[in-house]
Structure 1
Amino acid sequence: MKSHDRHAEILAFVTVAKLGSFAAAATALGLTASATSRKLQALEARLNTRLLHRTTRQLSLTEAGAQYLARCERWLGDLRDADAELADLQSAVRGCLRVSVPLNVGRLMVVPNLPDFLARYPALDVDLDFSDQYVDLLGGRIDVAVRIGQLSDSRLVARKLADNRRLLVAAPHYLAAHGTPAHPAELSQHSCLHYAYYQDGDIWRLHRGQETVEVSVAGRIRANNGEALYESALAGFGILKTAQWTLAPALRDGRLLPVLDDWHFAPSAVWAVYPSNRYLSPKVRAFIDFFAGRYAA
């Protein structure tokens, strides 16, 4: 059976059940009463179930028909919502979109792509709130936030934008002066540049195959800004744990070198999060779809 035939049968059943007669349903659907009746008969035959009791005076739902009607009404409602959301996406992506982003993510991943995003949606403005702290989306009137790592706020819906592989790196002159660690346990003997908002605190957990090592790290510099730690690593102040996508230029030209590159951290990701609502704003959907597609590419 073609999907549009099944949809027409279900629509006929719901309309007959709600209006209580084939004649009224036929008028609402723009069909003849006999055509409407045939669609209902075809639906009952396909389901092998009687959905309506028919008498010369009235129609009434069977027990199975009542249950099926409730399901069909929800399905048709969801289908209408989906159609409306797609239409809104093209016609109603307008106004001001407030986005919360961590500093480095905003600088390296969001801002460079904004010209293409805004060119696609000329009626939309973007208000960027740069902060490495978790902003309360509901209290701060934020439409969508970009976040990294584990998510814990159950009031929010999340969509993955990109993987977030984390590496250990250090400047060549730091490693020349202090040695290159051969095992994660040796990190405790080094100056490690620590990001204040790491969810696992001062404990770094590294994995290799089935082996896991936890090491407590310390160093001379601790900051709540990833860019400051990146510059500190370039200056030779210690070993930095950071996302691979922040490192491409420095690794390419040798200003930073990988450390313990046969070990890895647990998988992490970059997420778009937004308040949990049944209907997603067209401007938020546009932002998420655009950046998810851009990062996937």
Structure 2
Amino acid sequence: MSLLNQIDLNSLVVFDAVVEAGGFTAAAERLGVAKAKVSIQVGRLEEKLGTTLFLRTTRKVSLTDAGRRLHDECKPLLAGIQEAIDQVGHEQGELTGTLRLTTSVDHAVQSLAQAAAEFAARHPALQVDLRTGDRVVDLVEEGIDLAIRLGWLRDSSLRAVKLGEFDQYVVASPDYLQRAGKPKRVEDLAQHEWVALMLLPTPFTWKFARRGETHTLQVKSRLRVDSPGALRAMLRQGAGISVLDAYSVRDDLEAGALVRLLPDWSLPRGGIHAVYPQGRHVPPRVRQFIDFYKNWLTPS
């Protein structure tokens, strides 16, 4: 009997997950199984091959030379098998597997969570794993299929599809404006209390435009946050002035909790992007969700 016939091919899938996730615990979370099962599968694979694939310490897991060779040879083959399975399922009109999505907490609440629920309802054989957070995650390390990101992309190692755009508004609460006065010119903004969103590439520099006229504003900030939700809460509390995207501030503007300032001036529009790792194979579930969500954001 050949060695191939003695090896459970699922163990190769588990082995690949450990390599891509960077550890047994992360691989178990990605596969949705217990960590002990991952360890057992890898151990059996090593036993059948008669070699050690990973060097394990209390702090990290790294590939041996044999493990690296096996991964280099097996990865394209596993990707080809997955692509064939996805394609057959797609031809039958059914999406399978797990679609792992990530975005900010605010955007999930405002839009993505509802869209993901609707997409899952249309594809009952598909599992959807939506993860939220305001930090930018490593898509490969965390096994994410697709990230929805708002703003301006900086990571050139990723592929992206632009789904739409959004406006940015300068806003403050009525209480703050009553106390500090309402700015009448762009230059006046620099004299106000400014709350900075540190997720932005340039949180203290803003470029305004109006009918061919431009103005670059430098601000100083005593208050700084790392979350759009926290920023909005501080502004509603009367902490100062800042910039929020039109999506997140819409309800507060309608309710009168925040006021848009200098509406005749505009700021650069931000983009809504579907971002996914570089690679040859993009599963049908990812391609279809990108098309679905683009239509969701721009209904006819």
Smaller-chain TM-score bracket: 0.5 to 0.7
Equivalent residue for 2:127? 125
RMSD: 2.0
User: What CA deviation, in whole Å up to 9, does each residue of 1:26-60 have, x standing for no partner?
Assistant: xxxxxxxxxxxxxxxxxxxxxxxxxxxxxxxxxxx
Shift of 1:86: 9.5
The residue type paired with residue 241 of structure 1 is: V
Query: Normalization by structure 2: what TM-score?
Result: 0.67
Counterpart Cα distance in 1 of 2:88 and 2:279: 17
Aligned partner of 2:128: which letter? V
2:263 is paired with a residue whose SS is coil
Aligned equivalent of 2:138 = 136
% identity of equivalent residues:
32
Match among 272, 295, 298 for residue 296 of structure 1: 298
- What is aligned with 1:107? 109
The structural deviation recorded for 1:270 is: 0.6
**C-alpha displacement of 1:106:** 1.3
Q: Does 1:184 align with 2:186?
A: yes
The one-character-per-residue Cα deviations of 1:99-123 (angstroms, maximum 9, x if unpaired) are 1201211121111223211111111
Query: Which has the larger Rg?
Result: 1
CA offset digits 1:155-188 (Å, max 9, x no partner):
2221112211111111111111111111222111
Code of the aligned partner of 2:263? D
Unaligned runs of 5+ in 2: 1-82
Aligned residues: 215
Query: Following superposition of structure 1 onto structure 2, how do residues 66-215 of structure 1 map, counting pairs within 5 Å?
Result: 88=90, 91-215=93-217
- SS of 1:269's equivalent? strand
Q: Partners in 1 of 2:294 and 2:91 — Cα distance?
A: 16
Structure 1 residues 184 and 90: alpha-carbon distance in aligned structure 2, compared to 1, 3 A threshold = farther
Residues 2-41 of structure 1 mapped to structure 2, 5 A cutoff: none
Residue 205 of structure 1 and its aligned partner are, at CA, apart by: 1.5
In 2, distance between residues paired with 1:89 and 1:233? 51
For the residue of structure 2 that corresponds to 1:247, the secondary structure is helix
Deviation per residue, 1:128-181 (Å, 9 max, x gap): 221222211122211110111222322222111221111111111111111111
The answer to whether the aligner puts 1:269 opposite 2:267 as a matched pair is: no
2:173–2:236: 8 Å Cα contact kept in structure 1?
yes
Structure 2 equivalent of residue 240 of structure 1 = 242
Cross-structure match for 2:221: 219
Structure 1 length-normalised TM: 0.68
Deviation at 1:87, TM superposition (A): 6.7
Q: Any idea what the Cα deviations from partners look like across 1:73-99, whole Å, max 9, x if unmatched?
A: xxxxxxxx9xx9597276452122111
